[in-house]
Structure 1
Amino acid sequence: MSCAVGVTVLKASADSSTGSETILLGTRQLALEGGPLRVRVARGTTAVAALPGTAPALAPTSPTSPSDPAEPADEPPTAVEQRGQSGPAQEQSSAGPAPAAAVLGLTPVPLTPVPAVPAKPTEPPAVPPLPTAAPALPAVPSPPAFEPLFKEAPALNWVGPDDRWSRAWGLPAGGRAVAELEPVGAPAEEAGPPQPPSAEDLVLIRAVLAAVQPHADRAMAHFHALMFLRHPELRAMFPAAMDEPRERLFRALRRCAGHGDDPAALREYLVPLGRRQRKYGALTRHYASVEDCLVAALARYGGSGWDERTEAAWRRLLALASRLMVEGAEQEARSTPPWWQAEVVAHRQAVPGVAVLTLRPDQAYPFRAGQWAALETPWWPRVWRPYSFGSAPRPDGLLTLHVKAVQAGWVSNALVHRARPGDVLRLGAAEGAMTVDHAAGENLLCLGGGTGIGPIAALVEEVAEHGAAGRRVEVFYGARRAAELYRLDELRELAARHSWLTVRPVLSEQSSASGGELLGELPEVVTRYAPWHGFTACLSGPAGMVRGGVAALRRSGVPDASIRHDLPRQRD
């Protein structure tokens, strides 16, 4: 038997002369003979199934890849095909084609009967009735109630209802009464007076500070971390940014160590410092915790020389400092509150970047012309900045502040660009020694630069109210440009009414002079009119101008005891 395989089965015929059957498969033939089966498979064809009694079927060939050559066209019919197209083929076609299974010798396989499709229902299926009551679900335990980590400090770095700042202002939340502040004093009086540090103690104390100096910021940060960890309720007394408190604390430690052998100087520094701590909410019981945390931080960063003697020396110094600060707080608590609330009743832009605010305190506010006060805004809570009063005490009790918006100044920019009438600020107690002794009657030399003209004008107003009493008052009003001399007209009006007053405007930029102004830097111009013997000098303005003015006055022969300014307020 021989076999030739093509792509498509075209027809079947019988060859009587050869006694074999041929199935025409397109370009190739499948010849059935009595001998062995020979299969020729052309490229691109599909193998047929194995015939009974033959070898297994060939595996299908893979499809032609794009790289294979194209298939050749169908070849012309062979002689066998030509013979199959006549004679016997016609007879077989008349009798009908033979079944393929019979031709190939395959056993027919009965088909599986397909199940009958059921008839379409005429009525919808019945829906079971709903249950009258929902089945009970298993009980799910409710999650535990949220508990804050620090229950005593609900608002560490956040300002809003019920934080310590709001409670201090008398703004209860949720109908809860405002907690009363603990009075200062009694517990500290029961203990004996602290012993001042000895000379040996100061040597040990200063050695520790020298070791801490390179890591001062980290040491002070460690102190605050310990204090807030042990007493989380104290965090609300500090601002969100702690870099400034860290710097002030280390500066205070160095000053205490430097004046440890001078009790008078130590008292002069620490008693006012204790008064200022009242506006932060500091209480007597807080000082012991501060001492313990400070000692722990200094022991960590104080170097290898830290021992029991060093710790005892530091505890003696800190106990003395705490006692003096508590003493200052007690003295002021007898007569004044920790702070005042003041409403903004007027806000005026004097020149670009400079605002004049008029405040009405909630109760009588005692102060003198030339003094200053720390101020806190509701937009930057727990951040206090010092501002001098721009007017003398008035019968209506109103206060005036002159504020210049400083670059990157949080409080100053808020006061100049954001504050409006109706806003409420907080004021600390008035401080400062740049005041006039009206009984002495000394002559006054006043230097005011920029917004520093505010306290200078207040001094002039106070002298005019009390009477000059034969004194002379010389005012040098400095600015960069003529447009910035926003109080010049007011001062000239006072000079026109009072012969004892002389006002001299000074401009540092010559191009902006309009006539009548002195040109040059303010300290240098003042030295042109020297000597100033018998004058008490009062300086107010930018720090650089004040320092330059103090140096110029010293060179002109004015003694330090006769020079007053408000620059020390920025040191603590």
Structure 2
Amino acid sequence: MPLTDDEIALMRASVAVVGPFAGDMTVYFYAILFTRYPQVRTLFPDNLDVQRDRLLRGLLRIVDLVDDPESLVHFCGRLGRDHRKFGALNGHYPAVGECLLAALARYAGDAWTPELSAAWAHGYDVVARVMMHAAEQDAHSRPAVWEAEVVHHVHRGHGIAEITVRPDAPYPYAAGQYASVETPWQPKAWRYYSPAHAPRSDNTLTFHVRAVSQGQVSQALVYSALPGDVVRLGPTQGDMTLDPESDRDLVCVAGGTGMAPIRALVEQAARNGIQRYVDVFVGARTAEELYGLDDMLRMSQRHHWLSVRAAVSHERIAGLEGTLPQVLSEFGPFYQHEAFLSGPVDMVTQATTTLTRQGIPPDRIHFDPFDVPALEADLMPRRTRDEAGQ
């Protein structure tokens, strides 16, 4: 049963009330969850910092989508399928719901009325049912995780490594999607990386991983992983994929290791043999940080329909100076194009604004950072995205 308008209003109002205490609230939630139900502790990593942040952003995203049932089901269904890799069972959901409502009640204070409690209980019940159903359906067609051996590891400078793994069973995905990865050095800590290519016949996947400061997983993958090590993969996710029925020209914007899914999409376009033009814009702070540019330029030499342009924001180089959105605005028009964006959130946000001003409708601008709120990226709420489109 969908939520009523009154329930939606109550839930959204309560977010503003508990917002100033969000950090403390998530700490309290996990404390009472593990106290009341110690058996679930093994499902979580030892370091809960990232997990707490994911919980908070997941709640915010759900509240953002409660008046959009189709998107809510899509988002929660994907979360349910993804949670199989954690070992989540149907019996865990009531425990989580009980402790979530207890944490909300504690930090909402006098604002926590019986009506608000009922609204959150209804909202959580909807989310839990969708997640459980999606997980049950997913279990009929594929495993929860894949064991994958590292077969190739190359450092590419600037803290980036190119890592190729071979899963122990066929690993289905589409160009442009991303996979979750767990390493033996940080059990239960999962991070998300995009294969830098279209699907291969030998079932291998190559990720381009940048070691971020304090990164529990990225540091291990870049500096500790060696051929022969085994990592685990969760199912792929993401909607930034090519529509095989479309013949629109493409404009792609990439920053940093965000080049990986863009490169995969270009490779898939070449494999499809589609007769349309593709414009790729690559951005970085300096020329040295223009990761993946040489490879993309080589691809453009093989395909007449592919054009590649670069931009640097913190270095004076004739013909290249400027931020990606600035350079993007100098070309086009792109109002008849399909757009694919991948990279730092600020870059994606600004590029989205630039392209919508050029006339591309929001439903033809694709990017995964906004679509992974409970997982990895800092996100723009859906309403903000809609306003940018307007």
TM-score w.r.t. the length of structure 1 is 0.62
Q: Residue 553 of structure 1 corresponds to which residue in structure 2?
A: 355
Q: Residue 2 of structure 2 corresponds to which residue in structure 1?
A: 196
Q: Residue 565 of structure 1 corresponds to which residue in structure 2?
A: 367
Q: Residue 350 of structure 1 corresponds to which residue in structure 2?
A: 156
Is this contact kept in 2: 1:355–1:403, CA < 8 A?
Answer: yes
1:556–1:379 CA distance, 2 compared to 1 (3 A): same
5 Å-filtered alignment, 1:297-308, equals 297-308=103-114
Matched position secondary structure for 1:410: coil
The CA deviation string for residues 224-260 of structure 1, in whole angstroms up to 9 with x for no partner, is 2222122211111112222332333233333333433
The offset of 1:204, in angstroms, is 3.9
The CA deviation string for residues 505-564 of structure 1, in whole angstroms up to 9 with x for no partner, is 3333445x4x8x532212211111121132111111222221221121122222211111
Q: Residue 268 of structure 1 corresponds to which residue in structure 2?
A: 74
Q: Residue 277 of structure 2 corresponds to which residue in structure 1?
A: 472
The answer to whether 1:491 aligns with 2:296 is yes
Taking the aligned partners of 1:374 and 1:503, their CA distance within structure 2 comes to 29
The offset of 1:402, in angstroms, is 0.7
Identify which of 14, 18, 29 aligns with 1:212: 18
1 or 2 for the larger relative contact order (CA 8 Å, sep ≥6)?
2
Taking the aligned partners of 2:8 and 2:297, their CA distance within structure 1 comes to 55
The offset of 1:482, in angstroms, is 3.2
Taking the aligned partners of 1:293 and 1:327, their CA distance within structure 2 comes to 22
5 Å-filtered alignment, 1:319-398, equals 319-398=125-204
Q: Residue 409 of structure 1 corresponds to which residue in structure 2?
A: 215
Amino acid at match of 2:205: L
Is this contact kept in 1: 2:196–2:260, CA < 8 A?
Answer: yes
Q: Residue 538 of structure 1 corresponds to which residue in structure 2?
A: 340
Taking the aligned partners of 1:288 and 1:543, their CA distance within structure 2 comes to 34
1:370–1:203 CA distance, 2 compared to 1 (3 A): closer
Amino acid at match of 1:547: T
The offset of 1:570, in angstroms, is 4.2
Taking the aligned partners of 1:436 and 1:536, their CA distance within structure 2 comes to 9
Taking the aligned partners of 1:247 and 1:268, their CA distance within structure 2 comes to 21
Taking the aligned partners of 1:284 and 1:473, their CA distance within structure 2 comes to 45
The offset of 1:485, in angstroms, is 3.7
Taking the aligned partners of 1:484 and 1:465, their CA distance within structure 2 comes to 28
1:306–1:464 CA distance, 2 compared to 1 (3 A): closer
Which is further off, 264-273 or 275-284? 264-273
Amino acid at match of 2:86: Y
Is this contact kept in 1: 2:259–2:291, CA < 8 A?
Answer: no
The CA deviation string for residues 354-407 of structure 1, in whole angstroms up to 9 with x for no partner, is 111111111100111111111111112211111111111111111010111222
Matched position secondary structure for 1:503: strand
Taking the aligned partners of 2:354 and 2:369, their CA distance within structure 1 comes to 16
Amino acid at match of 1:540: S
Amino acid at match of 1:560: P
Q: Residue 49 of structure 2 corresponds to which residue in structure 1?
A: 243
Amino acid at match of 1:314: W
Q: Residue 245 of structure 2 corresponds to which residue in structure 1?
A: 439
TM-score w.r.t. the length of structure 2 is 0.89
Which is further off, 242-251 or 549-558? 242-251
Output the aligned Cα RMSD. Answer: 2.1
The offset of 1:325, in angstroms, is 1.1
Is this contact kept in 1: 2:62–2:72, CA < 8 A?
Answer: yes
The CA deviation string for residues 462-498 of structure 1, in whole angstroms up to 9 with x for no partner, is 1111102x20111122233333345333323322222
Taking the aligned partners of 1:432 and 1:282, their CA distance within structure 2 comes to 21
1:501–1:205 CA distance, 2 compared to 1 (3 A): closer
Q: Residue 418 of structure 1 corresponds to which residue in structure 2?
A: 224
